[in-house]
Amino acid sequence: MSPADQLQRGLIALGLTLERDIQQRLLDYIALIEKWNRIYNLTAIREPEKMVSHHLLDSLAVAPHLHAKRLLDVGSGAGLPGIPLALASAQMHVTLLDSNHKKTAFLNQAVMELGLKNAEVCADRVESWQAQEKFDVIISRAFSDMGEFVRMTQHLLAPGGLFVAMKGLHPYEEIEKLPPDCRVRQVLPLAIPGLDGARHLVLIGRDEQAA
């Protein structure tokens, strides 16, 4: 099965409808990752068919659960999940934040080549970065610990906003160690086409009175 067919079938399985030109830009994106991977080692996954499931579909699976005007992708790396989400949701503004300058060089190139008008790249450390306008959703799939993720990004979350953590197995222990002013709103199991491992999406809100 070609990557294009794999992507189309995966989108159907996820219940997502994307225009053909958006699907092509998603495929152009993984082709760009594959090209840069030869020099910069952006991701351990090298095969295009695995990139479709492990990168594109894994990122897009969270789209129905996000209702953001401004989204921050922390530790974006190769642009995951931020770039697929920006492609899928033109009305959402996405900031791709990473402190690795080689990765942000790739991100800038990807944003330019893909014609992403609703995405911008920031090369900085999240704990010291200050945004002019705060975000209603802060997402990451790169942080290993949710407590650290929340603590390092809380100054960037708008009132009423959500921290969103993409995890593998249900993170029971990490949830118990969240800061006391945070509350888990939902833990959503996700089924990713072509990906056998468990995936969960954790939505975390802040107790505004305790904050």
Domain limits for position 116: 3-206
pLDDT at 208: 66
Residue 33 · residue 43 · CB < 8 Å: yes
For residue 30, being part of any structural domain is answered with yes
3-state secondary structure of 94: strand
pLDDT for position 5? 95
- The pLDDT assigned to 51 comes to 92
DSSP SS3 for 37: helix
Secondary structure percentages of the chain, helix, strand, coil, to 5: 40, 25, 35
Closest CA to 81 of 61, 105, 101: 61
Residue 6's alpha-carbon distances to 51, 186, 200, 204, in angstroms, are: 10, 29, 22, 32
Q: How far is CA 144 from CA 73, 168, 169, in A?
A: 15, 10, 12
Instruction: Say if 43 falls within a structural domain.
Output: yes
User: pLDDT digits over 66-107, tens only?
Assistant: 989 999 999 999 999 999 999 999 999 999 999 999 999 999
Residue 175 lies in a domain: yes
CB–CB of 153/72 below 8 Å?
yes
How many domains, the chain? 1
Tens digit of each residue's pLDDT (9 = 90 or more) over 174-188: 999 999 999 999 999
Task: Please identify which residue in the block is written with the tokens 């399985």.
Answer: 13
Task: In whole angstroms, give the CA distance from residue 162 to residue 137.
Answer: 5
User: With the CA atoms of 159, 66, 167 and 87 taken in that order, what torsion angle do they form, in degrees rounded to the nearest 10?
Assistant: -120
Residue 211 falls within a domain, yes or no?
Answer: no
142: confidence class by pLDDT, cuts 50, 70, 90:
confident
Confidence of residue 43 (pLDDT cuts 50, 70, 90): confident
Q: Is residue 196 in a domain? A: yes
Q: Does a structural domain hold residue 201?
A: yes
- The CATH number for 94's domain is 3.40.50.150
Q: Is the pLDDT of residue 151 over 50?
A: yes
Q: What is the mean pLDDT of the chain?
A: 93
CA angle 66, 197, 5 (to 5 degrees): 70
Residue 147 lies in a domain: yes
